[in-house]
Each structure stands twice: as structure tokens, then as C-alpha cells.
Amino acid sequence: MSDLSLDPRDWLPHRPPFLLLDEMTRIEPGVEAAGRWTLRGDEWFFPGHFPGRPTTPGVLLLESIAQCGAVAVLADEKFSGRLPLFGGVESARFRRQVVPGDTVLLECEMTQLSARGGKGHGRATVDGKVAVESQLIFILADAS
């Protein structure tokens, strides 16, 4: 992994405000990836979700896990020029709120991977406690 970039912008087409990863901490191409997202409190969604009690929307936590998994896929040269897109979410469980100041550790392991798409198991944790865990289904489209 030492020669792989840990900057998610080098792997993903996402850009702020929709890049929901600050850095990658581990990449095993085609197998798994891990990263980190720190919520500073000035993110675009906090003022409306919820006024007086800012909470990270669960769907954005799922998206951050998916972005982490996309790095694992795109780091495999077999999938160069492809774009992983959501195909579905299964068994999502939300266990704790994520609030301003939290650092979310993200992990996604590919459980199925083919030329057409696959599945991954992901989780987001804060201080060692699971915030969300889910199975994610994705398809692979051509990036251009």
C-alpha cells in the first residue's frame, strides 16, 4: 500500500461539499479500505439537521462508507475508468448519533466483486462505538 495515495480525491470524482472522507488510512485494492472523516461543525447540513441539535444525517454516513468502499474498488487497476454507483442498501443499522467534533472511522470490505458490480460490508465508528453498519450494493458504470 505504501505507493498508493491516501488522498481520496486521487481516487474519487467527488469534491466538497460532497466528498465525505478526509483521508484514507488503509487501502487494499479490490479487497477493503479504511478512512477518516472529521465533522468540524461548519458542514452544510448541520444548520438544518437539526437546529439546536446538529446531527449528521444517516444517509450521509452511508454515503461516506460507500465512498470508502469505492476507493477499494477503484484502487484495483482492473476497475480503472469505472464509476461505482449505489445499487442498494441492505440491513442498515444506526446505533449512535454523529455530531460536530466527532471523527468517524470508516471501513468497507468487498464481499462480492465482479466486472459489473458487487457488494460491500461497511461500518462507521466513533470512539470505538458503531454509529452505522450496512451492506452496500453497487454497480460499475463507465466513468466517461
Catalytic option among 25, 49, 89, 133: 49
Which one, of 68, 80, 64, lies nearest residue 6 by Cα?
A: 68
Q: 96-133 burial, b for 16+ CB within 10 Å, e for fewer?
A: eebeeebebbbbbbbeebeeebbbbbbbbbbeeeebbb
49 is catalytic: yes
SS3 per-residue string spanning 56-116: CCHHHHHHHHHHHHHHHHHCCHHHCCEEEEEEEEEEEEECCCCCCCCEEEEEEEEEEECCC
As annotated, the active-site residues are 49
